[in-house]
Structure 1
Amino acid sequence: MAEAKHYIVKNGTIIDVENGGAFIGAIEIEGTTIKRIYKVVENLPESIPTIDATGTYIIPGLIDMHCHIRDQFAPHFLASGVTTVRNAAGNVWMIEDLLDAPLDAPTPRVFSADRMIDGEPGLWGPTSFGNFVTEDPEAARQEVRRQAAAGVHFIKIYGLANREVIQATVEEARKFDLEVACDLIHSQKVSALEAAELGVTWFEHASGFVQALYPGWYPTADQAEWGHIDWDSPDEQMIKELCEQMLRYNVKLCPTLVCIDQSIQYPDFWYPENAVINSLENHDILMSHWQSMEGDIDGIQQQLCQQHTFTKLVAKTYFELGGTVVAGTDTPALLYTFPGMALHRELELFNEIGMTEMETLQAATIHAARSINLQNIGAIKEGYIADLVVLNENPLEAIQHTKEIQCIIKGGKLYSQEEILKYIPSKEELEKQMVEFEKRWEAEMGLVDVSN
């Protein structure tokens, strides 16, 4: 593919997500940036090399607003047209190479949280490099300060955190101009409305809304006493009134519909055939992990899938009221949330709940970027970073066409899917990285004696 630092992509249909239109034009790229947009493709500068994109459709690079990225499958995101991800908890030291990568690297740029702040006993176990478990507000404040020093972009609260810890986390995060996100799926103590009142601005999986309408409910509670809830036909008026209350706090939702949808549809789940999926299969990246979970599918469906219709209605209602609803996947959570590719299924689900093709694209491009105050990505615009996806079919005719990828431009560099997938790290490289990370973590946390 082209290695030119200055070139023009011409004759493609440019999808203008900022203004909601499309036109045949040309895009001049210099270095990592979109230098100029031509709405008339005649009389282009003859001194600049051109790439003819006739018959294609060009969209901004896609943004997965909720995933948990790791080095071994980072290239799969980019090969799927996902040029930016929001890493919704993990450990920033573990993905430093991704965070520090140049703009034109064959991996997505990463906007990241660090380990989750949770309550006792910890939904993922006791305190570790991936979660911080406490009932003490002051300990939560100290953890926020540690994470801010580590360079996080936002803070993540998890389902067992108590009210006092959430409030302390929000107050401390504000000192560093950091937003707080929450996953309240399993919360027994705090609802979405209560978290919004405390200043939480991001609601992952549109979680905590059920608890706001049905105080005392949570997924692992005895469901016999909640038999009056009609999960298949949720109370639309109650949901609308709750969404109106949440809108007053200007909260933002990332419903991650695909995460539950894949489990609901099992064994007939969404499974496209393309280069990304083939690579995951051939390298056995995550596939064995998901296959091992198939034995627990009944429990997964019983605990989480009953909320699926409810969550879709929340997302639809909040969007129709003018609230911010963006696209994310929770990759690699639950079953077969294929890195990068799962976002295309999320877009299909957004379209199914009533968003137009353009609105759906916006939820994974410009609205996603603006929701986290990134002003130089998310649109095809002069002065923006040159993150583009060239499609063979028109996504405004059918949103399913977003996965019909001809090539990807990341930070001005043109890649084919096959070229990107060559950058998958070897098992030896990954093992070395993990050993180095564990040594650093133990040393930084004072878990080992490094005086000798």
Structure 2
Amino acid sequence: MEKLLLKNGTIIDVTNKVSFIGSIEVEGDKIKSIIRHDEALPRGIETIDAKGKYIMPGLIDMHCHINEGFAPHFVASGVTTVRNTAGNVLLLNNLIQKPTDAPTPRVYASDRMIDGTPGQWGPTSYGNFVTDDPEEARKEVRRQVEVGAKFVKLYGWIKKDVMEAAADEAEKYNMEVACDLINSKDLTALDAAKAGVTWLEHTSGFAQEMYKGWNPMVDQNAWSHINWEEPDQVKIEELCAKILKHNVKLCPTMVLFDQAMRYPAIWSPKNKVIKSIENRKHPVEYWKSHEELDAVIKESNAVVNNLTKAIAKTYYDMGGTVVAGTDTPALLYTYPGMALHRELEIFVEIGFTEVEAIQAATVNAAKSINLDDIGTIQEGKIADLVILNKNPLDNIKHTKEIDLVMKGGKAYTQVEILSSVPSEEDVNRSLQAFMEEWEAEHVK
């Protein structure tokens, strides 16, 4: 096995919330040993001098929708693992099966989302399954288990009995269930928690429970008496306490709403990664198509922007699990990989400490989905590391100051990672081949 030594860096211990100067010996894709600065170093192996640098675990984006075309941008941003919340496991198989040290992230994926009629993303397709029949939902969960889905994703127009059936079936296979209720007309966060849903994405469904009868589709003038800018903290605390009893976990994706509300003055640091993304048609053309809808997007997100932030902090303070995700590439300029850095900034803006924010994208994220071999810098763990030029414990904005990224024991510069980005022609060709195969098998 190949060996590598990262010596004399400041190692950030996210579990114990401390940092210390030391060296990390890597063998193969694992951390073999952690050596304190006053201990002897191994000789005769390749060495990277990390003096003056800061080493943290690889970041985890807990809510995104990855694509082969921008997968390397995640790793170039220090994001070495992603949780893909809806899509198609078979379409992602090329990424899922990559070698451990490939410059693409590890993918923990759900399969197509289960929605109610008529389907927010249209009728049943390779990316969604639309049904109002509980038994059909159970069959779909079993199919997803067979193709290798790690969890089940439910969507906002799902009926209550279908949600309960899907959650019950998933439990038989020890699979967690995530739900996005942002556009739900009938169900609330508490309904989902009682039905056995494990994850509430975007802290969705809270507004529907706090204000019965409200949803994004109704006439908002009738709800103009609600001060969405200053959320009702008493209501939030009461609902968080009820949700917490069901051990539900939250991924608030605050950057999604933040970018929408900021537009056109979006968060966009002009670094190597973002410049590379901006040179691609996808997802840039998708974002540009949303620019003309910015007034509508702002109106809908004004309701949840501050509410989501208040819920995230309250739930965490009450002992709930709150992790970092982005919903990349949704809405407006949620840059693959880089958007997670803005999410961490928002965590700090709402009252998390720097180390608590980092925990939300490392150790706490890994624990939340039982990935025991990543998320911390410890002997025996996978060597997914980010080497920074500045201390993120002093300022969370320093997580962007990336010198090197180690993925599965292999060290890369950002330039090296970005040089592996596939051509859009190759990506489109691969997608077209998948679509043809899918339609031949599933479309009658």
Q: TM-score range by the shorter chain?
A: over 0.9
Report % sequence identity: 57
CA positional deviation for 1:41:
4.7
| 1:198 match | 195
| 2:162 match | 165
| 1:283 match | 280
Matched, 1:382 2:379: yes
| 2:150 match | 153
1:227 maps to which of 224, 228, 250: 224
Could you list the per-position Cα deviations for residues 335-369 of structure 1 after superposition, in whole angstroms to 9, with x for gaps in the alignment? 00000000000000000000000000000000000
CA positional deviation for 1:284:
3.5
Could you list the per-position Cα deviations for residues 79-105 of structure 1 after superposition, in whole angstroms to 9, with x for gaps in the alignment? 000000000001111111101111101
| 2:86 match | 89
RMSD: 1.1
| 2:430 match | 433
2:68 maps to which of 71, 74, 96: 71
Q: What 5-or-longer segments of structure 1 have no aligned partner? A: none
2:108 maps to which of 111, 133, 142: 111
Deviating more after overlay: 58-67 vs 431-440: 431-440
2:5 maps to which of 8, 20, 37: 8
| 2:303 match | 306
2:293 maps to which of 276, 283, 296: 296
| 2:181 match | 184
CA distance in 1, matches of 2:318, 2:39: 43
| 2:117 match | 120
CA distance in 1, matches of 2:123, 2:308: 29
| 2:239 match | 242
Counterpart amino acid of 1:16?
A: D
| TM score, norm. by length of structure 1 | 0.97
| 2:419 match | 422
CA distance in 1, matches of 2:441, 2:98: 23
Deviating more after overlay: 91-100 vs 60-69: 91-100
Matched-pair contact (CA < 8 Å) for 2:112–2:126:
yes
2:325 maps to which of 328, 331, 346: 328
1:248-259 alignment to 2 at 5 Å?
248-259=245-256
CA positional deviation for 1:219:
0.9
1:443 maps to which of 436, 440, 444: 440
Could you list the per-position Cα deviations for residues 132-178 of structure 1 after superposition, in whole angstroms to 9, with x for gaps in the alignment? 11100001011101111010000000000010000000011111110
Q: What 5-or-longer segments of structure 2 have no aligned partner? A: none
2:262 maps to which of 262, 265, 275: 265
Matched, 1:409 2:406: yes
CA positional deviation for 1:285:
3.5
CA positional deviation for 1:49:
2.7
| 2:208 match | 211
Partner of 1:92, secondary structure, is: coil
Matched-pair contact (CA < 8 Å) for 1:11–1:41:
no
Matched-pair contact (CA < 8 Å) for 1:220–1:303:
no
Number of positions where the alignment pairs a residue of Structure 1 with one of Structure 2 = 444
CA distance in 1, matches of 2:190, 2:237: 13
| 1:352 match | 349
2:312 maps to which of 299, 315, 322: 315
Matched-pair contact (CA < 8 Å) for 2:24–2:31:
yes
CA distance in 2, matches of 1:359, 1:303: 29
